[in-house]
């Protein structure tokens, strides 16, 4: 390896490790890392800063911002809060149904909108119900954990659900329909398997209070607390029509037409914001996730510098040259990707590994490599509470909800409480990813 | 047999945001629907001493005369001419019935409670324009066309029972600061047991008292 390759790889790995260890300063860490990487790349003759910025996949960032704004429009209709109450009512506050309905519901929602926003609006309702029911630590851990695993799976089910899939769509590596057709069924199968094991083997509800009167009272209180939360129907209908239009356009408009998924997203988000110009202006000014934009911008600059130095190409060549059956090489790559994601979280891991996957995709079926990678990253992001951005959010909201069990003991949701759920989610999703690669590849 | 712990937890969790009476009526209705009169007897025996309003509502149900929803017409009449209304304490049933009768009156809810309340959501339940008023800011709502309202939980002679937050704003000078200082008796009968979670005051705090004597 050349000196710039060593230094750039070290800068990338150090920044990724530091942002995972100090999540409260992750934007600062990534932006400083990007600046250092740009300096090393310039001094080492690898690439100028202008070249690194030209390599940033702006289309991916545009899709992230556009989908985020579309989610904000949907959130303004108050539909997520009403959905959460509807899930609670449909469950009749029975613990097992509650877990299954909320997990399945969040899987479906996360496939279509930014799961952080959806979680931020759905979780308070669920936490309120858990508090009213006085659930025990075990049930709370598994219910909240299952929700996060379902969010991750929903995000991986469609090309617009979460960053790793958006990266594949934006980069033109996979078409919308192609990704949907290949990733949708395995994620649904993984969710079904995860929920089946949770429900019938783990049985987190076995110690739950079975008093129908308590269930009735809890639901009645919940309904009354949300009695005046009215959905903004005209806005909701408009936003849903636009969302359907976007899905149709992503599926039907060929890339050769020059209209890429990012332009479709941009136009769709623009029309959605124009539905209520005053609200749209306020959302654009105040609700764009600038934190995510800066984070991914810094990440892309660092990964771009490493890529320009040729390290990722060499890694892919080494993997291709490894004297082992193709399935073993791909399996090893996916397991490594899943573990790395567990440590670094989904965004950095996907951005760093995509260059290696590009190399593998020349030797194997590209669809299998990319979808396998997306599933492996999904498995990794379910391993630890810190591996997905929704984890710390759920931890914070649960802390604020001050859950207590029937004996008055505080119910927590943190790294330790999530770990058993994460290990099960990781195992099931990774097994599904490997099964998919072996069956389809 | 009902789970007393579960019902008590639900009451404590909801009473701050829905109000003692609204929560009591809701719980008594649900327990009656699920467990009938024996359930109400058990509810009263186990939680009645802790929550006096719940006890009173349960007792009324056992006596065959369920506590009615508060009627807002007399209150709306008493508030006629006021352009702003600061409410101390919350009773969801009462406020839901009253607000449509108040037209464009500016509404504020004083953010003080002994119980847990998500004030932002609580205020949002009464319309987007409802303001959450911090304890230190209540005097800013005073004025010639301003009204102050709290809920009374029964009267015994000149004594009446209110949420403790009322004691933060009541005082000899308050009646002169507001056009109307209104006490709305939503329970209509004094509690039979010692009213924990409530404070005793006098009807002389108020320029107008509405509700069953």
Q: Tell me the torsion sign for CA atoms B113, B118, B120, B124.
A: negative
Interface test with B, best of A225, A229, A401, A409 (most B CBs within 10 A): A225
Residue pair A197/A424 in contact by the 8 Å Cβ criterion: yes
Q: pLDDT by residue (tens digit) across A238-286? A: 999 999 999 999 989 987 888 988 999 999 999 999 999 999 999 999 9
Tell whether B99 and B165 lie within a shared domain.
Answer: yes
Q: Tell me the torsion sign for CA atoms B188, B190, B194, B199.
A: positive
pLDDT of residue B85: 95
Residue A324 has pLDDT above 90, yes or no: no
CA distance B140 to chain A (A): 28
Quickly list H helices, chain B: 4-18, 20-47, 52-62, 73-78, 92-98, 119-124, 166-169, 174-177
pLDDT of residue B213: 54
Domain total for chain A? 1
- Cα separation, B7 vs A193, in Å, equals 35
Interacting residues of A61 by C-beta distance below 8 A, sequence separation 6+:
A293, A296, A297
Mean pLDDT of A290-311: 89
Q: pLDDT by residue (tens digit) across A345-358? A: 788 788 888 888 88
Its pTM surpasses 0.80? yes
CA distance A416 to chain B (A): 27
CB-based burial of residue B166 (10 Å sphere; 0-12 exposed, 13-18 middle, 19+ buried)?
Answer: buried
Identify the CATH number of the domain in which residue B192 sits: 3.40.50.10470
Q: Write the residue in B7, B33, B125 that is nearest to A214 by C-beta.
A: B7
* B104 in contact with A, Cβ within 8 Å: no
Q: For strands B84-88 and B143-152, give the pairing.
A: parallel
Domain total for chain B? 2
Report percent pLDDT > 70 for chain A.
100
Is B67 contained in some domain? no
> How many Cα atoms within 13 Å fall on the side-chain side of residue B211?
25
Q: Write the residue in A131, A211, A228 that is nearest to B3 by C-beta.
A: A211
Mean pLDDT of A167-192: 91
From chain B, the residues in CB contact with A404 under 8 A are 9
Question: Cβ separation of A228 and B96 shorter than 8 Å?
Answer: yes
pLDDT of residue A171: 76
φ, ψ at B162 (rounded to 5°): -135, 170
Of residues B194 and A363, more confidently modeled: B194
Mean pLDDT of A204-228: 86
Q: Write the residue in A128, A213, A225 that is nearest to B2 by C-beta.
A: A213
Residue A334 has pLDDT above 90, yes or no: yes
pLDDT of residue B2: 67
Tell whether B108 and B199 lie within a shared domain.
Answer: yes
* A220 in contact with B, Cβ within 8 Å: yes
Mean pLDDT of A38-57: 94
Q: Write the residue in A134, A216, A224 that is nearest to B92 by C-beta.
A: A224
- Cα separation, B155 vs B189, in Å, equals 6
Strands (E), A26-124: none
- Cα separation, A252 vs A249, in Å, equals 5
Range of the domain at B79: 73-211
CA distance A214 to chain B (A): 6
- Cα separation, A294 vs A31, in Å, equals 7
Q: What is the DSSP letter of A200?
A: I
Residue pair A128/A137 in contact by the 8 Å Cβ criterion: no
Nearest alpha-carbon partner for B189 in B94, B75, B53: B53
Tell whether B13 and B86 lie within a shared domain.
Answer: no
Residue A132 has pLDDT above 70, yes or no: yes
Question: Cβ separation of A406 and B22 shorter than 8 Å?
Answer: no
Structure-block tokens of residue A336: 């490594």
Residue A189 has pLDDT above 80, yes or no: yes
Residue A102 has pLDDT above 70, yes or no: yes
Q: Write the residue in A128, A209, A227 that is nearest to B3 by C-beta.
A: A209
> Which segments of chain B have a pLDDT < 50?
none
Tell whether B201 and B142 lie within a shared domain.
Answer: yes
Residue pair B204/B162 in contact by the 8 Å Cβ criterion: no
Minimal-distance CA residue of chain A relative to B119 = A225
Tell whether B45 and B83 lie within a shared domain.
Answer: no
CA torsion B105→B111→B115→B120, rounded to 10°? 80
Element (H, E) at B180: strand B178-185
Question: Cβ separation of A133 and B6 shorter than 8 Å?
Answer: yes
Is B10 contained in some domain? yes
pLDDT of residue A278: 94
How many Cβ contacts (< 8 angstroms) between chains A and B? 78
pLDDT of residue B212: 65
Residue A88 has pLDDT above 80, yes or no: yes
Interface of A with B in 303-332 (CB under 8 A): none
Range of the domain at A222: 3-440
Q: For strands B131-133 and B106-110, give the pairing.
A: parallel
Question: Cβ separation of A228 and B23 shorter than 8 Å?
Answer: no
pLDDT of residue A48: 96
pLDDT of residue A436: 94
Q: pLDDT by residue (tens digit) across A404-431? A: 888 888 999 988 999 999 999 999 999 9
Question: Cβ separation of B13 and A209 shorter than 8 Å?
Answer: no
- Cα separation, A363 vs A384, in Å, equals 32
pLDDT tier at A292, thresholds 50, 70, 90: confident
Q: Write the residue in A213, A225, A227 that is nearest to B3 by C-beta.
A: A213
Mean pLDDT of A65-88: 90
Strands (E), A215-333: none
- Cα separation, A363 vs A326, in Å, equals 9
Mean pLDDT of A80-88: 90
Q: Look at the block and give the residue holding tokens 């989904």.
A: A346
Tell whether B123 and B186 lie within a shared domain.
Answer: yes
* B129 in contact with A, Cβ within 8 Å: no
* B9 in contact with A, Cβ within 8 Å: yes
Instruction: Please give the mean pLDDT across all residues of chain A.
Output: 90
Of residues A389 and B57, more confidently modeled: B57
CA distance B155 to chain A (A): 28
Tell whether B132 and B171 lie within a shared domain.
Answer: yes
A263-297: b (≥16 Cβ within 10 Å) or e:
bbbbbbbebbbebbeebbeebeeebbbeebbbbbb
Interacting residues of A342 by C-beta distance below 8 A, sequence separation 6+:
A380, A381, A383, A384, A387, A426
With left for phi above 0 and alpha for psi between -120 and 50, is residue B160 left, alpha or beta? beta
Tell whether B109 and B166 lie within a shared domain.
Answer: yes
CA distance B19 to chain A (A): 11
Residue A152 has pLDDT above 80, yes or no: yes
Q: Write the residue in A134, A224, A225 that is nearest to B6 by C-beta.
A: A134
* A89 in contact with B, Cβ within 8 Å: no
Partners of residue B155 on adjacent β-strands: B160
């Amino acid at each position: 390896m050349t000196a710039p390759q060593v230094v750039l790889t070290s800068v990338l790995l150090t920044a990724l490790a530091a942002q995972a260890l100090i999540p409260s300063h992750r934007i600062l860490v990534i932006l400083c890392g990007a600046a250092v990487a740009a300096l090393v790349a310039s001094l080492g003759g690898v690439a100028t800063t202008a070249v690194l910025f030209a390599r940033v996949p702006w289309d991916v960032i545009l899709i992230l911002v556009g989908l985020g704004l579309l989610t904000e429009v949907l959130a303004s209709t108050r539909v997520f809060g009403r959905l959460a109450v509807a899930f609670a009512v449909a469950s009749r506050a029975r613990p097992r149904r509650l877990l299954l309905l909320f997990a399945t519901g969040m899987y479906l929602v996360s496939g279509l909108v930014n799961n952080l926003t959806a979680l931020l609006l759905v979780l308070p309702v669920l936490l309120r119900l858990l508090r009213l029911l006085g659930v025990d630590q075990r049930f709370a851990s598994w219910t909240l954990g299952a929700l996060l695993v379902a969010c991750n799976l929903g995000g991986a089910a469609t090309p617009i659900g979460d960053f790793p899939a958006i990266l594949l769509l934006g980069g033109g590596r996979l078409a919308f329909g192609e990704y949907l057709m290949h990733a949708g069924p395995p994620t649904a199968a993984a969710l079904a398997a995860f929920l089946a094991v949770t429900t019938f083997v783990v049985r987190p509800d076995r110690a739950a209070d079975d008093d129908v009167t308590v269930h009735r009272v809890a639901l009645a209180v919940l309904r009354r607390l949300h009695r005046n939360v009215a959905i903004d129907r005209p806005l909701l209908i408009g936003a849903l029509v636009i969302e359907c239009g976007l899905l149709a356009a992503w599926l039907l408009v060929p890339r050769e037409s020059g209209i890429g998924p990012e332009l479709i997203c941009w136009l769709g988000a623009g029309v959605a914001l124009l539905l209520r110009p005053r609200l749209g202006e306020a959302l654009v000014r105040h609700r764009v996730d600038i934190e995510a934009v800066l984070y991914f911008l810094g990440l892309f600059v660092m990964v771009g510098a490493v890529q320009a130095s040729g390290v990722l190409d060499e890694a892919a060549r080494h993997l291709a040259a490894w004297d082992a059956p193709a399935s073993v090489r791909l399996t090893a790559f996916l397991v490594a990707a899943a573990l790395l994601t567990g440590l670094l979280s989904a965004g950095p891991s996907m951005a760093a590994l995509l260059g290696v996957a590009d190399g593998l995709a020349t030797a194997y079926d590209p669809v299998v490599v990319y979808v396998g990678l997306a599933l492996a990253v999904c498995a990794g992001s379910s391993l630890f509470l810190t591996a997905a951005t929704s984890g710390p959010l759920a931890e914070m909201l649960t802390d604020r909800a001050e859950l207590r069990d029937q004996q008055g003991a505080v119910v927590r949701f943190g790294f330790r409480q999530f770990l058993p759920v994460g290990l099960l989610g990781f195992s099931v999703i990774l097994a599904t990813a490997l099964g998919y690669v072996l069956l389809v590849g | 047999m009902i789970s007393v712990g579960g019902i008590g937890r639900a009451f404590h969790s909801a009473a701050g945001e829905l109000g003692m009476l609204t929560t009591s009526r809701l719980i008594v209705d649900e327990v009656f629907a699920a467990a009938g009169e024996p359930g109400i007897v058990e509810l009263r025996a186990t939680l009645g001493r802790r929550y006096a309003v719940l006890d009173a509502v349960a007792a009324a149900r056992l006596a065959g005369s369920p506590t009615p929803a508060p009627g807002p017409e007399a209150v709306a009449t008493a508030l006629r001419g006021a352009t702003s209304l600061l409410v101390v304490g919350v009773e969801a049933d009462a406020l839901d019935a009253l607000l449509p009768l108040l037209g464009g009156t500016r509404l504020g809810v004083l953010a003080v409670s002994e119980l847990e309340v998500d004030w932002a959501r609580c205020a949002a339940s009464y319309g987007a324009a409802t303001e959450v008023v911090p304890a230190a800011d209540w005097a800013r709502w005073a004025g010639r066309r301003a009204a102050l309202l709290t809920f009374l939980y029964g009267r015994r002679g000149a004594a009446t029972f209110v949420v403790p937050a009322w004691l933060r704003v009541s005082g000899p000078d308050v009646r002169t600061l507001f056009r109307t200082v209104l006490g709305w008796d939503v329970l209509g009968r004094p509690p039979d047991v010692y009213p924990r979670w409530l404070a005793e005051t006098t009807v002389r705090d108020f320029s107008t008292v509405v509700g069953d004597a």
